[in-house]
């Protein structure tokens, strides 16, 4: 089969709460029909949210655009019909009655995908609460109760490199923001 070139992002409207199921069904159906060349990616934009349950932090993924599944595809031939006939799919966003599905504009795609990248990183939405040279106390993990000095801050990983005195010897530890508190 010839390689299919022009692919665009389309938004499939799904029954809210069933986005991941719809994604799975679309992928399975496309594979079963041997049409993987036409559909590159099926994406459910999610954001990570931290919830406190019984005093414990629980990371959950929440669907960012409830009721929408993004599909990068060339909607040739039967593909729109196959996708629309999938359980939980309501239709395509922006399609006119009886017309073709309307692809997203690049600016919209970048905004949505940018949102996805941004969200996967933004776990706690906390500004960096520490400064280099600051003294902190470890409140979690095997070094609970030790205090140390912040040597480096790894912003993107939300971690600190902390110099802790263990048995009279300075030892560097890598700790997450959540494992330490200011003294």
pLDDT tens for the chain, 183 residues long, are 445 568 999 999 999 899 999 999 999 999 999 999 999 999 998 877 777 777 778 777 788 888 999 999 998 888 899 999 999 999 998 766 667 788 888 888 877 777 666 655 554 454 667 889 999 998 988 888 999 999 998 877 788 999 998 888 898 999 988 888 888
DSSP the chain: -PPP---EEEEEEE-TT-HHHHHHHHHHHHHHTT-TTTEEEEE--EEEEEEEETTEEEEEEEESSTTEEEEEE---TTHHHHHHTSTTEEEETTPPTTSPPPPPPHHHHHHHHHHHHHHHH-SS-------TT-EEEE-SSTTTT-EEEEEEEETTTTEEEEEEEETTEEEEEEEEGGGEEE-
Architecture in CATH for domain 8-121: 2-Layer Sandwich (3.30)
Question: The whole model's pTM is what?
Answer: 0.57
For the chain, give every domain's residue range: 8-121, 135-182
Answer whether CATH 1.20.1260.10 is correct for domain 135-182: no
């Amino acid at each position: 089969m010839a390689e299919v070139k022009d692919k665009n992002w389309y938004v499939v409207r799904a029954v809210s709460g069933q986005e991941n199921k719809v994604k799975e069904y679309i992928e399975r159906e496309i594979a079963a029909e041997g049409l993987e060349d036409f559909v590159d990616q099926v994406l459910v934009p999610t954001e990570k949210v931290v919830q406190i349950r019984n005093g414990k932090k629980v990371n959950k993924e929440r669907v960012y655009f409830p009721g929408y599944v993004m599909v990068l595809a060339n909607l040739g031939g039967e593909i729109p019909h196959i996708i629309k006939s999938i359980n939980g799919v309501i239709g395509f966003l922006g399609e006119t009655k009886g017309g073709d599905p309307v692809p997203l504009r690049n600016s919209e795609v970048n905004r949505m995908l940018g949102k996805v990248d941004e969200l996967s990183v933004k776990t706690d939405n906390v500004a960096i609460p520490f400064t280099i040279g600051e003294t902190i106390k470890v409140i979690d993990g095997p070094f609970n109760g030790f205090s140390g000095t912040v040597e480096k801050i790894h912003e993107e990983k939300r971690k600190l490199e902390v110099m802790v005195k263990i048995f009279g010897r300075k030892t560097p530890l890598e700790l997450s923001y959540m494992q330490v508190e200011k003294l």
